[in-house]
Structure 1
Amino acid sequence: MTTSLPLAARADLLVGSVIDSSTSLLAQQSHDIVRFAMGSPAAEAIPWELLQEVGRSGLGSSSAFDYAATEGEPDLRAALLEMLEGTTDRTTDDRLTITSGGMQGLDLAAKLFIDPGDLVTVESPTYTNGSATALAYQAELAEIEVDAEGMSIDALRAAVDRAGRTPKLIYTVPTFQNPSGTSMSLARRTELLELARSWGSVVLDDDPYGMLRFAGADVPSLHELADGDPLVFSVRTFSKIIAPGLRLGWVDADPSLQTLLINAKQSMDTCANLPAQRLVAGFLQRGYLKDHLATQRTEYRRRKEAMQAALAEHFTGRATWTDPEGGFFLWVSFGDEVDTEELFARALAAGVAYIPGNAFSPGRRFPHDLRLCFASTPTDRIHEGVARLAGAIDQG
């Protein structure tokens, strides 16, 4: 749609999200669809009964529906600090700002650090909304290859050499990356931080999935390895570990930034949703999260293994896929004969939805790849969905 209205120049850079748009697209369908597209917990994984229980006591007065402090409800901040104690994201009160989901954390980082024309490096493939946020603030993007150990630091150096300037911001999803499912190795995390310090570049550490490890050994977060370095700006969310509809997350950043973060957030939404903050605070205070995460880790491992088994049955010799140790996603790579954008409509008609690989690259580098979310689908439906995908490919 075109308009004659006097739009700002940045309006052309608002590319939107193929991932988020899939929710509306799927709502328009009337036939049965196995939904591997949206990266969200399964409906049965959302602890709605416990949240209802908390709500009966925590939302029992009109004060629960008032405005909240911009930096976050004190009870939630205190409960979050206690929850993080003993984890790789252990922190202090002066570093926390409660946000309206992880996406607001990314937007706050971009608002604080990106000037028009600044070089921002992003993983390739990368989380669509992260790169789109940088573009909306008129950044120049450089895509950095991802392999089995996460973002390639050699490729990062090479891209910076080609650009002839250092990046203002380095965006990474280091653990169970969206969309590939891979994790950055400890050696690369250490090297990345050393390189960022030498350049004076901010590392935007987006880690929604770190608490969802179901295999392998724990790796220190960038937050822990940075040990208070102000160049590391960490974004976290409750969307993947409790429920996305709560729209709550947090930023962990150098204390010198908190006033700026509050000012920036006040120009967006004044405060995060107070009833949701009260719900999450109560959920944490009652100790429900630990058992909830343990249950989900076990179930997500079952679902990942079911998806890998189904892929092996239908696509051995025709495709390759990643083997994540946590999180939500598998990345599937086909040969040149499968165009995953062209395939999408045929697959949807056959009753299976996914996100094409080009959605995860500003430069559209992945026409023969796709992302599958295993977390949101029971194992029997996973097998059905992969079979439908194979059938759609065979029809081409």
Structure 2
Amino acid sequence: MSTPTSTIRMASRTRTMIGSIIDSSTALLASQKHDIVRFAMGAPNAELIPTADFDRLLGAHAPGRYDYGATEGEPELIAQVQAFQQRLGIDTEPERLLITTGGMQGLDLAFKLLLDPGDLVVVEAPTYTNGIGTALSYQAEVIEAPVDADGMIVEDLPDIVARAGRAPKVIYTIPNFQNPSGTTMSLARRQLLLELAEEWDAVIVDDDPYGALRFDGEDVPAFAQLSPGNPRVVQVRTFSKILAPGLRVGWVDVDPALRAKAIDAKQAMDTCTSVPTQRMVADYLSEGLLDAHLTRLRGVYRQRKQAMRRIMTAQFGDDVTMTDPQGGFFLWVALQGRLAALDTQKLFPVALRHGVAYIPGPAFAASGRFGNALRVCFATSTPERMADGVARLAAAVDEQVAP
């Protein structure tokens, strides 16, 4: 009898697959035996999740709750998502909506339907690690566009694309309170990006988990408001950041022809998003609870952002710079001055030992740049807990820079 070989022949696409440092941190933190202040994961804290309402709604009898559901989503939830979108100023129709298993499935469906191996995808730098990873899993070529205080520097795209020698198939952007920078794309840049997408025959994948969490400033019109019904705009949304990440309920808003293919693709993934969870979310929305919940979140997150900036400045002074987001979850912190040479990837295990976790900057770029930067989530922690975590981070930094 022959001995089995130890090497499995895998698909060529596995060579471009990368794991998520962000998602991997969940298991890493769970394995720690000491207290960790968690600035790493982008998630609300437990006290901000309406668990009592969820428990009540899940406990209510509902025939068919545990059956298979339609792939496109439960009709009650689709109707509630449509109404929610309209309250945010975005007109849509049920024929455009597909309920997904979290925002990540929305991204996966978008890239699966749009990309062939070797296609060019423009991404922000820095940007969401899993967005990069999903594009790479479909063997795309990723090129980076810089970000400033007004989001992606869209004016630079023609030169970036000219250097690449071909037009992109997809432009991936997080326009509101971007992950990780916290910045928001300006109106002028949104308008220009729509024009460039038309010129290049490209699709804008508009990933907006945080848009409903504006706590300061004025709303900027969405791509769908600037160009209603535009088939070049794929909207990816989720309830993970405004209700609870563990629900794994999101949606995409797309041209009906693309939705039909997305339904086909989803049927080969999971048949349907969890029916009990969909119905619970639909019931929560139908009772009119979401708007008051969002009002509460915005107030809490404004306070926590201000506290995080104040605490970081008091601890590190001019040795750091930080973004100042008007919504969302994140600060992007760059080390400078006496700390400019610190590598945040090398600093991470030291910080973890001291009892604080963050995400190092290189996780947010395909090129591995931003070694002097890190992302901290202010949504998860109370100001008192933040102060403890920043003090622990300072102790780790002092250990690294000590002569």
In the superposition, the TM-score normalised over structure 1's length comes to 0.98
Residue type of the partner of 1:154? E
Output the CA distance in 2 between the equivalents of 1:125 and 1:80.
30
Aligned ranges 1:371-386 → 2 under 5 Å = 371-386=375-390
1:18 is matched with 21
1:62 positional shift: 5.5
Residue type of the partner of 2:341? E
1:334 is matched with 335
Percent identity, please: 55
SS, match of residue 365 in structure 1: coil
Say if 2:56 is the partner of 1:53: yes
Say if 2:355 is the partner of 1:351: yes
Output the CA distance in 1 between the equivalents of 2:25 and 2:63.
36
1:200 is matched with 201
Output the CA distance in 2 between the equivalents of 1:119 and 1:197.
16
1:154 positional shift: 2.3
2:255 is matched with 254
SS, match of residue 318 in structure 2: coil
2:232 is matched with 231
Aligned ranges 1:256-335 → 2 under 5 Å = 256-335=257-336
1:61 positional shift: 4.2
Give per-residue Cα distances to partners, 1:194-242, cap 9 Å, x unaligned: 1111111100000000000000111111222121110000100000010
- 4+ aligned runs moved over 4 Å, structure 1: none
Output the CA distance in 1 between the equivalents of 2:123 and 2:89.
24
Output the CA distance in 2 between the equivalents of 1:82 and 1:185.
26
Give per-residue Cα distances to partners, 1:6-54, cap 9 Å, x unaligned: 1001112110100000000000101111000000111111100011122
Output the CA distance in 1 between the equivalents of 2:41 and 2:227.
32
SS, match of residue 52 in structure 2: helix
Output the CA distance in 2 between the equivalents of 1:291 and 1:225.
28
Report the RMSD for the aligned CA atoms in angstroms. Answer: 1.1
Output the CA distance in 2 between the equivalents of 1:354 and 1:147.
22
1:360 is matched with 364
SS, match of residue 63 in structure 1: coil
Output the CA distance in 2 between the equivalents of 1:343 and 1:158.
35
Aligned ranges 1:157-172 → 2 under 5 Å = 157-172=158-173
1:4 is matched with 7
1:90 positional shift: 2.9
Output the CA distance in 2 between the equivalents of 1:315 and 1:89.
42
Structure 1: 5+ residue stretches without partners: none
- Name the count of aligned residue pairs: 393
In the superposition, the TM-score normalised over structure 2's length comes to 0.96
Output the CA distance in 1 between the equivalents of 2:328 and 2:298.
9
1:3 positional shift: 5.5
SS, match of residue 235 in structure 2: strand
Output the CA distance in 2 between the equivalents of 1:37 and 1:76.
31
SS, match of residue 143 in structure 1: strand
1:79 positional shift: 1.4
Confirm or deny: 8 A CA contact 1:36 1:354 kept in the other structure: yes
1:56 positional shift: 2.3
Output the CA distance in 2 between the equivalents of 1:172 and 1:89.
18
2:83 is matched with 82
Output the CA distance in 2 between the equivalents of 1:226 and 1:383.
44
Question: Which stretch of the first structure deviates more once superposed, 4-13 or 321-330?
Answer: 4-13
